[in-house]
Amino acid sequence: MSLDSLVLLTAIAVSGAQTAKPAPEPAPVVLAGEGRDCELPGGLHFIYRFASRPQLGTVVLKVQVFGPDGTRVTALKVSGRASMPQMKDMDSGEQVFKLNRKGDYLMPMDVGMPGGWQVVLSFYKDKRRIYRGKIEFKI
């Protein structure tokens, strides 16, 4: 094989590798009902609840994370994205939960119209996402 052919093949291989798309992310896990334990990696688990029954207006979602021994864990970063899947313009964008004094992660969200809604939760440890889960609810 000539040197020119080798250079050409290498250039094609490199350009193909640069344009390769990353593997698609797996879909988030649909979470168990409100108030039920949901497992996280590393023996952790969490419970989510709405501060009040979801309705039009501002709704507050509360997440509590616990260690294997049942103690409260506050070292994770939790974010959420509230959206109405059938309406492209009804999407909150990624929002970081705020940690209150009790160790609860809180996220207020605006629910602007009746229908099916979802919140995709992401849990991060040391800037690396360790879990994604999805809450579905109707107004």
Q: Containing H/E element for 12?
A: helix 3-19
Q: What is the pLDDT of residue 91?
A: 85
pLDDT tens-place string over residues 89-122: 888 889 999 999 999 999 999 998 999 999 999 9
Taking the chain, what is the end-to-end CA distance rounded to the nearest angstrom? Answer: 68
Q: Is residue 40 part of a domain?
A: yes
Tell me how crowded residue 76 is: count the other CB atoms within 10 A of its CB: 19
Q: Is residue 14 part of a domain?
A: no
Amino acid, single-letter form, for residue 136: E
Q: Return d(Cα 108, Cα 130) in angstroms, integer.
A: 23
DSSP tag of 72: B
Q: Return d(Cα 26, Cα 133) in angstroms, integer.
A: 11
Q: Is residue 103 part of a domain?
A: yes
Number of domains in the chain: 1
Domain range for 106 is 28-138
Q: Is residue 91 part of a domain?
A: yes
| 3-state DSSP assignment of residue 104 | coil
Q: Is residue 23 part of a domain?
A: no
Q: What is the mean pLDDT of residues 17-45?
A: 83
Contact 62, 47 (CB under 8 A): no
pTM for the whole structure: 0.80
CATH number of the domain bearing residue 123: 2.60.40.2480
Residue 105 CB burial class (10 angstroms; 0-12, 13-18, ≥19): buried
Q: Return the percentage of the chain with pLDDT > 70, whole number.
A: 83
Q: Is residue 11 part of a domain?
A: no
Pairing state between β 128-138 and 29-30 = parallel
Q: Is residue 101 part of a domain?
A: yes
Q: Is residue 80 part of a domain?
A: yes
Q: What is the pLDDT of residue 39?
A: 95
pLDDT tens-place string over residues 48-67: 999 999 999 999 999 999 99
